[in-house]
Structure 1
Amino acid sequence: MNNHDIDYKLHGDDMQFVEVELDPQETVIAEAGSLMMMEDHIRMETVFGDGSNQSGGFMGKLFSAGKRMISGEGLFMTTFTNEGNEKKHVAFAAPYPGKIVPMDLSELDGKIVCQKDAFLAAAKGVSVGIEFQRKIGTGFFGGEGFIMQKLEGDGLAFIHAGGTIQKRELAPGEVLRVDTGCLVAMTKDVDYDIEFVKGVKTFLFGGEGLFFATLRGPGSVWVQSLPFSRLASRVFSAMPQVGGAKDEGSIAKGLFNIFDGD
């Protein structure tokens, strides 16, 4: 199935959203819960899987949905179709601070591999599946686990990641070592493996993880500066603990005031 040829515009800097322009009868697919706003005459429909093979019968749809469940995603995705006679717009927002990266799969050999939670939206016809890592070490110790997402097709797809995103071009045989949580996406020809951090003192006192991703070219790699897991960890560690002082932040102070009758 050929991908729908959608146009788009990115808004914002660190809290971005993407606005997609749909011609009559054009469709875009998106993760459930990513919708920000849409204009009149756009029909929203929940579908099994990614909506790329809705003519394949019930078993085909069920298999597509099952693959998403294995990767930790929901069973359903949402399609947005312009049923009007004029161009209409629908917008999707990233779930946390960072960047949205548009990727034209026709310029990336028809496939990219990305974090399982990086996908935001895409033109209808883009297949959102799972990518099993070939090496067992990658599966057990990789920051994204044994399963990553793969986006296949010849249309536009949008992924998001935290902080600042940098694209690196790797020459044949060139190696880049990345913190496992900072890897966002890569083209299909990049060889991906997990390497153990050498030296006992390094992983005990260095403040980094025990493993990092080793990426070998040729191909393109996208890296993020602030993985959501790292952001969530810092926020959690900064939260007031049970039994803390009354002035440890406005929320905790307000709760104490309620209990004290102030």
Structure 2
Amino acid sequence: MGEQNPDTAMEKDMKSNDHIYYSDHKLISVALRAKERPKEKFCNLLHHLTLERVKTAIVKIAVSSGRGPDELSRNLTRQHLDWLLPKELDDIHKKKYEAPCSRRVYIPKANGDKRPIAVGNILDRGIQGATAEILNNVYEQDFLDCSFGFRPKRNCHQALATLNHAVMIEGKHYLLEVDIKNFLGTINHEWMMAFLRHRISDERILKLIESWLKAGVMENGVEMANETGTAQGGAISPLLANVYLHYVLDD
């Protein structure tokens, strides 16, 4: 018998463990290592940020939420991607990438208030989405089973089922509802980066995330610096929020 493909063998091992998440077969080794070594810091993740991974993320974003507010986003073609993305990725590898300013828009909330949303160009959103996908393979091994918000393969129905089990089967009698006011907008950048360094030591990835945290916003034609928080509407923001809460509340 010939030798078994190591990726195939690894995939079978991981499928037998429901607690291990991985987004695709190219990231199985990252997910497995993160699960087996919860204290390890990953120093070489950027090579997973490939042209094809970013292209795939851009297609998903364009289909689900639209291309974006700027002329580049509206008129972007596959030829544009083939021309523009290699330079963007090269800048990231050289730690020269500067996240572009996003445009702030407001959408109404159920209580009558308005929620600020940052809408960036589709190239940057694609890079954010691809980066989040890579990092999810690390952090999904760390997050607790009782955490459901903005996580892959988890939803509010599962959260309700867990609450129902706690009340009806386990006999719990108290539920606490908490809303952190303007949570995304008040995340401390220094603490955010410190939390990320518990698991990520790839300085290129860290520099990229810091660039997104610091990226300014444009409102009424005026560009404003961002000293705190992560952009609501950014593809990387849900993951960053979960990492922050994991170390503040769960770890």
TM-score scaled by length of structure 1: 0.20
- Which structure carries more relative contact order (alpha carbon 8 Å, separation 6+)? 2
Larger proportion of strand: 1
TM-score scaled by length of structure 2: 0.20
Greater C-alpha radius of gyration: 1
Larger proportion of helix: 2
